[in-house]
Amino acid sequence: MKDIPHSPQSAENGKGGAVSALIPLESLLEPQRKKVDLEALRQKLATGRGPKFWRTLEEAAETEDLKEYIEQEFPGLSGQIPQGVDRRSLLKVMAASLAMAGAAACTKQPKELIVPYVRQPENVIPGVPLFYATAMPVAGYARGLLVESHLNRPTKVEGNPDHPASLGATTIFEQASILNLYDPDRSESVMHEGRMDLWGAFTGALSTEAQELGMRKGEGLAILTGVVTSPTLISQMTALRAQLPQAKWYVHEPSVNPAIASAARKIAGRSAFISYDLSKADVVVSLESDFLNTGPAALAYARQFAKRRGIDNGQTPCRMYAVEATPSVSGSLADHHFPVKSSAVPAIAYQLAKACGVNAPDPGTTAPAWLDAMAQDLKNAKGRCVVLPGEFQPESVHLAAYAINAALGNVGQTVNIYEGVEPENTLSIEELTGDLNNGRVETLVIINQNPVYSAPASLNFEQAIRKARMVVRLGQFYDETSRWSHWHVPEAHYLETWSDSRAFDGTVTIQQPLVEPLYNGKSAHEIFSIMLGKPDQNSHEIVKGYWQSQVKNDFDRVWKTSLHDGWIVGSAVGTLNGRAPALAPLTSQAVSGTEIVFRPDPTIGDGSWANNGWLQECPKPQSKMTWDNVVAVSPKNASKLGVDKGDMLRVTVNGKHVVGPTWVLPGHAEDSFTVYFGYGRTASGRVGTKIGYDAYAIQDSDAPFFAGGSIEKTGEHYRIANIQETQTMAGREPVRAADLAEFREHPDFPTMEEKPLPKDLTLYPDMWHYNDYKWGMAIDLNVCTGCSACIVACQAENNIAVVGKDQVARGRHMHWIRVDRYYSGDLDTPAMYNQPVPCMQCENAPCELVCPVAATVHSNEGLNQMVYNRCVGTRYCSNNCPYKVRRFNFYLYSDWNTPSLYGARNPDVTVRSRGVMEKCSYCVQRIQEQKIKADKEDRRIADGEILTACQQVCPTQAITFGDLNDKNSKVAKLQALQRNYALLDDLDTRPRTKYLGYVRNPNEALRGQRGNTRES
């Protein structure tokens, strides 16, 4: 079928059709591919004739087209290479270009100015970065951070190692938040009905409004925020309610399910947060919970889970079961993965409850075959297991999960209940819409949220908002909601303002700014302060004033220590006792026909990150695609519908529809289709506008996360930019995995069947003696979740450019580390493996030999050095690299024109121009920094002093870097393990980056059941 470059359209139901202008990609790139015959592929995999590991369906099917595609020397470029060039003209052209090559180099170095301070601030040493502790609120809950600042310019975000909600790690969102700070599309001035205005004019208008509201006791005032845990803001709101008792507080957080909080309230009798301790769990059952990547405590759970998953100290690793519709980041590490419809999970939860001895009403459906074995496993691990309810499941699942945990004695062991830190007496977006439509809202103040875009379409918020008399919006971008507001005030980024927030366990972090607001942005505190009648207070005064009232003794010391450490000592909340409530009969059945599942996009979230180039280009963990959202379809449904990757589907729910491209996702539940939020925006900025389809346009507030609907194909095709497309493994096994039993018998299973390479395989003698430092890296595949935080961290640290959808489709993405995702086993419930691939830093590097200008040479410590100023761009090194980790700047991908982006760059790393090859350098700038530091102190570098960007940010600590010559270093110990192996080791490249094989722990009782185990 001919590819027609067609744009996806969102529903024409008043949301404004967002038509994206697709860059036509058809003729140059994608050869006319035959569709993959999924049935034949299924048979092939089932009978074991297929490949053991496969990355894409085309690869597994070994389609003729793919074979031809791969065998071409430059796949996809056949149309571009000039045919019929004879040798004589080629030589002429080459001679001419060689003659020109030298000429450009003869220039005189331009005059450069050197500009010191007038008053140099204390502690600032130009060239030495400073780290400040702060926190980023993610859906309201704090993740403690240490932010690196060069000359008072924040450049990199790291987790705060001592903060309970980050433990030194971050997710992709905290990493990408730096780019948001310098985003050129940020709102720069106060807007009044579409025209720029002054802050003074706004404060005057809002103060007047507040006075009038005061006379009515606040009747008609509606304040809409996201989830808020900030003690200062909550106290300001309390003060405001004291002055204006009729004022109402509404909370709208599109990617958070209110059922989590309401279920916790029913369990604890008051506002609470159910938290888990996975380090004590032998058996983990996830009922559609993406616990390793989503939620306020995700990073803590990831660390606990990774610890419990360890096998090298002889312990039996925990076993995880994942019951989910859409394969998730957490599900990729599951030993058993059961795809079920999202709407069928409540029934399964109840059946599991009954099987575990809870008095649950009969859900009326038959339990699946695997449920008994799973329940038995749980019962065998009483007090040492945990059942995790899905973040997007209704309250019944949360209550059932708690009941199961209580029945199995997990409460107090693997399940704890913290006092809730969210504010009381808040209302929902549905109630706000109702109040707006009934004329009960005069003044609407919106803090940060974007309801015109992100409220469910059934509410028709865009019409409702027009009914308020005065709408004030505090937002970072002049986006969809701001365009419907009377007043728009630019919001200060969290790195620009004082605030505070609480982690999931209540720990308070005082957020301190690293830079003055770039565009005179204001914080929510300042808006509230105006309404409280104090328009001149700034955030610093407000936050400090609040804490002065809370800390009676020794305030100065407490304040300084808290700012330095990143949390207030003793601010964690206490634990509560819970009571498993009686389970009510299920009110709704599983969707019998086609189910549509709504999820926040894995890299764009609820849409507020849409303008962030790093996140748009970050490959989504399961599909590895970028710059679009897709409709995830199971292979069975893809065959039934007759669609393949990229074919457009019309998704209809309750009469509204959107059109989006198919992605065939092995492991997805049958008759269930996932649509992702965050795209289809109309006013997001130069990056995020008019990309993808808007899933909110078909969302119903009654069934926000799964609903019945229908799917049909439109017959059109769309080109998806996918990162993991064009390479095959050619029969090799990059991923080595085994069962626990196999591992116990053969701890060296990854290299068990290999013969040692002959000594004289390479002509080059063994010249290098690494007597000083010997840098190496070990990546543990057992705990990599595929979250991609390493990719964005590397991008932030190394000034890696964003190339855009067109170039990604041509395979020219610039990420120095990529996370490959492999499937294994059967088509419908495959096993999944994630493998981060940075530069291998081969000791016998194929790339070093072929550089004509010696731009990539070996160092005395084992690094494969990339010298940008010598590179002339022959690309022979990338050609020779078997791992394809070298990235070439085909164009000037770095943005040299937008001034606001200059600040985001790390000054210790070169910003590359076009024509230059780049690759992972083991964060050589960090190595050099520590070497110099240690050298000045006349000592060796200690283990753990150098953390590469990817290592530092990994939530499960899958990546370890260090000195292999130090026998006590973590990396030396890991590389000495028997399950250590090198990628493509038969090529004798002797890579310094090695991997630890994956060990599964399947349940013997479930072995042999087709489609239920992760056997290959």
Q: Which is nearer to another protein, 594 or 795 (CB)?
A: 795
Binding-site member from 701, 726, 925, 980 for another protein (CB under 8 A): 925
Strand partners, 133: 146
| For another protein, the closer CB: 98 or 113 | 113
868: contact with another protein by CB under 8 A: yes
Decide if residue 869 touches another protein (CB under 8 A): yes
| CB nearer another protein, residue 511 or residue 948 | 948
Q: Which stretch binds another protein (CB under 8 A): 487-495, 536-544, 575-583, 864-872?
A: 864-872
Per-position b or e across 975-1001, b if 16+ CB within 10 A of its CB: bebbbbbbbbbebbbbbbbbbbbbbbb
- Those residues with Cβ within 8 angstroms of residue 438's Cβ, 6 or more apart along the chain or in another chain: none
Q: CA nearest 721: which of 25, 7, 56, 6? A: 25
* Part in contact with another protein (CB under 8 A); list of ranges 271-279, 354-362, 490-498, 859-867: 859-867
Interacting span for another protein (CB under 8 A) from 284-292, 308-316, 364-372, 860-868: 860-868
| Sites for another protein among residues 927-946 (CB under 8 A) | 928, 932, 935-936, 938
Instruction: Classify the C-alpha dihedral 517-518-524-530 as positive or negative.
Output: positive
Which of residues 82, 83, 117, 756 is near another protein by CB under 8 A?
117
Among 21, 99, 118, 763, binds another protein (CB under 8 A): 118
Q: Which of 904, 725, 923 is nearest to 181 (CA)?
A: 904
* Cβ proximity of 920 and 948 under 8 Å: no
Is 130 a binding residue for another protein by CB under 8 A? The answer is no
125 binds another protein (CB under 8 A): yes
Candidates 70, 740, 850, 857; binder of another protein (CB under 8 A) is 857
128 binds another protein (CB under 8 A): yes
Alpha-carbon gap, residue 64 to 68, rounded angstroms: 6
Residues 590-629 that bind another protein (CB under 8 A): none
Residue 935 CB, shortest distance to another protein, in Å, is 6
CA distance 117 to 753: 64
Can residue 122 be called a binding residue for another protein (CB under 8 A)?
no
**Residue 34 or 858 having the CB closest to another protein:** 858
CB 215 within 8 A of CB 244: no
Residues 750, 980 contacting (CB under 8 angstroms): yes
φ, ψ dihedrals at 144, nearest 5°: -65, 135
113 or 730: CB nearest another protein: 113
**Of 393 and 906, which has the nearer Cβ to another protein?**
906
Q: In this chain, which of 300, 842, 863, 971 binds another protein, going by CB under 8 A? A: 863
Sole binder of another protein in the list 103, 104, 106, 215 (CB under 8 A): 106
112 or 536, CB closer to another protein? Answer: 112
Would you say 126 and 113 are in contact if contact means Cβ atoms under 8 Å apart? Answer: no
Query: Could you give the CA distance from residue 126 to residue 116 in angstroms, rounded to a whole number?
Result: 9
- Min. distance of Cβ 117 from another protein in angstroms? 4
Residue closer to another protein (CB basis): 865 or 880: 865
- Alpha-carbon span 487 to 474, nearest angstrom: 8
Rg (CA), the chain: 28
Cα separation values, 659 from 80, 675, 680, 715, 716, Å? 33, 10, 11, 11, 10
114 binds another protein (CB under 8 A): yes
Contact with another protein (CB under 8 A) among 537, 538, 701, 865: 865
Q: Does 108 bind another protein (CB under 8 A)?
A: yes
| Residue 127 interacts with another protein (CB under 8 A): yes or no | yes
- Least Å distance, CB 894 to another protein, is 13
| Residue 112 binds another protein, judged by CB under 8 A | yes
Strand 487-490 with 470-475, pairing: parallel
Order across the sheet with 283-287: list the strands. 336-339, 319-324, 283-287, 385-389
Token code pair at residue 469: 């008399």
DSSP 702: T
- 32, 80, 83, 109: which one binds another protein (CB under 8 A): 109
Whichever of 88 and 111 has its CB closer to another protein, that residue is: 111
Distance CA 714, CA 754 (A): 50
161-197 as b/e, with b when 16 or more CB fall inside 10 Å? Answer: eebbbbbbbbbbbbbbbbbbbbbebbbebbbbeeeeb
Short-list 678, 919, 722, CA closest to 172: 678
**How many residues in the shown chain lie near another protein by CB under 8 A?**
38
List beta partners, residue 192: 195, 487
Among 178, 632, 909, 1006, binds another protein (CB under 8 A): 909
CA distance 780 to 264: 35
Q: Which of 27, 78, 89, 120 binds another protein (CB under 8 A)?
A: 120
Rule CB under 8 A: say whether 859 interacts with another protein: yes
Question: Which positions touch another protein (CB under 8 A)?
Answer: 106, 108-109, 111-120, 125-128, 857, 859-861, 863, 865, 867-870, 908-910, 921, 924-925, 928, 932, 935-936, 938
